[in-house]
A and B are shown apart, each in its own frame.
Chain A
Amino acid sequence: MGVQNETIHEFTERRYDAGFVTDVEADCAPPGLNPDIIRFISAKKDEPPWMLDWRMDAYAKWLKMAEPRWAHVTYPPIDYQAISYFAAPKRPEDMPQSLDEVDPKLLETYEKLGVPLHERAALAGVAVDAVFDSVSVATTFKSKLAEAGVIFCSFSEAVREHPELIQKYLASVVPVTDNYFAALNSAVFSDGSFVFIPKGVRCPMELSTYFRINAANTGQFERTLIVAEERSHVSYLEGCTAPMRDENQLHAAVVELVALDDATIKYSTVQNWYPGDEHGVGGIYNFVTKRGRCAGRNSKISWTQVETGSAITWKYPSCILQGDGSVGEFYSVALSNLRQQADTGTKMIHVGKNTSSTIISKGISAGHGSQTYRGGVKILKSAAGARNYTQCDSLLIGDTCIADTVPYIEVKNPTAQLEHEATTSKVSEDQLFYLMQRGLNEEDAVNLIVNGFCKAVFKELPMEFAVEAQKLLEVSLEGAVG
């Protein structure tokens, strides 16, 4: 038991490796939220009047809404007037045209994160749209993408360059009044990514964005919009880290995906934001609305997420399966350690005929972590022949953690077939014993078991991400025996 206790100790005491602050003077808005701030943000981003009107309208709606409280998370009330809603790197006028022009300190930041942008991008053939405190500072491989007709740019650029597309698809999946945080985001969103894949194009490379929250007391409010036209295909990767901060930081992003006939969107996330320390001080509040609409026939949206960071994670990447024969998928590994709280899961809303969805969720709860899987599968009356398979498993490490499972199943069509199963247990003593009597030491045995536990999700991740995700979990896996 001695070795176990030690490794448990080591693991629960582990420091946040990405906790450092890059000294780039941020061009901050004063704290507080009022129409002037929204005008300030809009002006900073050189937005057309319709965009400002849209923001103001969202702000007016947000004022009338109340903060939701139903999630199984606890946190002190957020003072929305104490948050600064805009932080841009110092020189927005002379935005770098290529990676060489990027502030070396930014590059250093990525370096420390283990994301050597230029090398990695070149080696892996990944175009990275790096978002550093809300403003997109570098977009690579743009020309190669442009050749294929793919638009991959920052959201504010898209507002200027492709207003017709933005106007058509913005808030078409997540309406402004969808929820409190979506409305807030609509009013104050700072930047984000826009992806447009035209008809019949298979995006030549995997697209990737790294979000990183840096300045203290700044909320991060990205907006991502991905539109895949008929018969197109895109795989999008999102990675997130934030430096060590004592103040809790709010992150309220909105991600919208639209897939037309026969299009496929694969959206992968590795989220490693600062989780706070062992007393629950600091850390990110990650309140994100992610939703995809399979608008066309036989379209497909697949969410894969590995959530190991944030003090509080509250998000449900969802699919509206509208087109006949469309497919929704959700693969998730969520880990909560220290005093982290995660209330996460997915919603699959079946509207079209013969739609199908798969949900695989693996929750690992350790230390004083709290983990809730909350999922909804809705089969509407029109969804004849709908099919859903759900599996959500929780693994418990240590006797102070919490694991909840709250799936909602609502079926209104008699031709639907649904299967749902869930298990909660600690690492099986029998499996452990078997592996150890075959010669493995305890740690390797636990590693093997937990790796097996997450395998169904890891195999859905793009290769580079799978490696990173495994690395992220690795420390946690050590000594994972209670």
Chain B
Amino acid sequence: MSPLPQLRERAASRFEALGWPSARSESWRYFKVRDLREGGFTPGSPAPSPADSLPAALDGADRIVVINGRTASGPTERDGLTIGPLGDSRRHFDGTSQLLDDAAMVALNTQHFVDGIAIRAPKDAVSERPLEIVLLNVAAGPTPAMASPRIFIEAGRNSQLDVVFRFVSGTPQDGPALTNALIHVVATDGARVRTATVCDEAANTMHIHTTLVELGRDAHYASHVVMRGAAADRSEIRVRLADQGASCDLRGLYVADGKQVHDNYTQIEHLAPHTSSNELYRGIIEDRATGTFQGRVLIHEGARVSEAHQLNNNLLLGDAAVANAKPQLEIDNDDVVASHGSTVGQLDDDALFYLQSRGLSYEHARGLLTYAFASEVLDGMASTTLAEQLGRELEEELSGGTEHASWPTEL
């Protein structure tokens, strides 16, 4: 019997009980919860693929295109990976079912997702190129539409897999929209999974994605989240280091301007001995924007010889910009090394002066320093092409236009 109807029913009743996330909930307190709650979002309808809104493909590879939560095109097989709809296989849902109890957005996604994508890397499979998934939110009418994409990734023993998620909006984007994505990664023993998530949606869109990761023995997960677009972006990543030697490396870059709100919440659970986690999140916050990082690390009782490090840096560049940081360590064990650091500040005046004394304009110097601040986060990304492309775009954007982007020829 298919577990799906029952699961959807449970999800619906859970969401009914939980309601939209509110500022009373600790991890949502800095988000635009009111816009979310009062947005009147209802499941959107299918839309044709506006080919011109798609970003240029990475590495020229064939890619998966998802429009309003429905898979529109893409390969079913690549580099040994099998790719298909979620169907009604119990294993695609089991790992998330207990989360329905307290995570409203997970419940909402479970209730409304349409077909979803399941990606499976068999044992020892090593995929050379990253798999690119473009998720398009096209709101055609004035009704606030919600897309609920859902992706399940299973990496078999000792397999290696890179996946890139690019969240974009169709052009023109007419009505308000909400993307509520769920990404579920299961990496079994010795597997290595890297994901890169780029949130680049239109200004009338709210974006939320929840990434759930379960890691087996000696498995490794690396994540890069880059937030640029949307009225409000929220990334929630929950990692369970469930067996010995599991490790993860989470990185995030949020570049917020205007009145944008960029919200990052990570939760890493160390459940087994010799597990390690590392986090680096950096925010560049301009104008009246808000950038938030909340990182929760739990080291459970049996997780001996575990290591957890966390670093969050914020550059506040706007007069009314707001930065919030809440690192949270919860340690129930004595044999651990854990640390977190957090800074909020501005560009170093001395460094700015030095660069200007070498002939750079103020804008160029500022752009260069900001880029330097941001670029470290992009290291080790699932797609080097994407990392380079993002780096170039950032440098251009931060130095206030292309005319400053090159080194002056006359000194």
Contact = CB atoms under 8 A, between A and B. Distances in A.
A215 interface: no
B317 interface: yes
Interface stretch (B230-238, B322-330, B378-386, B389-397): B322-330
Interface residues of A, number: 35
A405 interface: yes
Nearest to A402: B332
Contact of A411 (B324, B336, B337, B339): B324
A128 interface: no
Interface in B301-322: 301, 304, 314, 316-322
A406 B340 CA distance: 11
A394 B48 CA distance: 56
A421 B341 contact: yes
Given A406-B328, A407-B326, A424 B336 contact: yes
B338 A411 contact: no
Interface string A395-420: 01111111111111111111111111
B42 to A, nearest CB: 34
Interface string A64-103: 0000000000000000000000000000000000000000
Nearest to A70: B26
Given A401-B334, A426-B334, A419 B327 contact: no
A412 B333 CA distance: 36
B331 A381 contact: no
A425 B337 contact: yes
Contacts of A403: 329, 331
Interface stretch (B8-16, B110-118, B131-139, B342-350): B342-350
Nearest to A399: B334
Chain A contact residues: over half helix, strand or loop, or mixed?
strand
Contact of A421 (B316, B317, B335, B340): B340
Interface string B340-374: 11111110000000000000000000000000000
B342 A407 contact: yes
Contacts of B320: 381, 412
Contacts of B345: 416-418
Interface in B171-194: none
A411 B334 contact: no
B338 A420 contact: no
Contacts of B321: 414
A459 to B, nearest CB: 24
B339 A399 contact: no
A412 B322 CA distance: 4
B330 A425 contact: no
A409 B312 CA distance: 11
Nearest to A393: B339
B325 A399 contact: no
A411 B346 contact: no
Contact of B331 (A398, A404, A407, A418): A404
A422 B334 contact: no
Nearest to A423: B339
A417 B336 contact: no
B28 to A, nearest CB: 14
Contact of A418 (B318, B332, B344): B344
Contact of A410 (B324, B328, B334): B324
B301 A399 contact: yes
B285 to A, nearest CB: 8
Contact of A414 (B317, B332, B341, B342): B317
B301 A414 contact: no
Contact of B326 (A400, A408, A414): A408
A412 B320 CA distance: 6
A154 B319 CA distance: 48
A424 to B, nearest CB: 4
Contacts of B324: 408-411
Given A411-B314, A411-B323, A405 B329 contact: yes
Contacts of A420: 325, 327, 340-343
A409 B336 contact: no
B406 to A, nearest CB: 28
A422 B327 contact: yes
Nearest to B341: A421
A30 interface: no
Nearest to B293: A409
A381 B340 CA distance: 26
B333 A399 contact: yes
29 contacts: A379-B344, A396-B333, A396-B336, A397-B334, A401-B332, A402-B330, A404-B328, A405-B328, A407-B326, A407-B327, A408-B324, A408-B326, A409-B326, A411-B314, A412-B322, A416-B344, A417-B346, A418-B342, A418-B343, A418-B345, A419-B341, A420-B343, A423-B337, A423-B338, A423-B339, A424-B331, A424-B336, A425-B338, A426-B336
Can you list the 6 inter-chain pairs with the closest CB atoms, starting with the nearest?
A396-B334, A414-B316, A409-B325, A420-B342, A424-B338, A418-B344
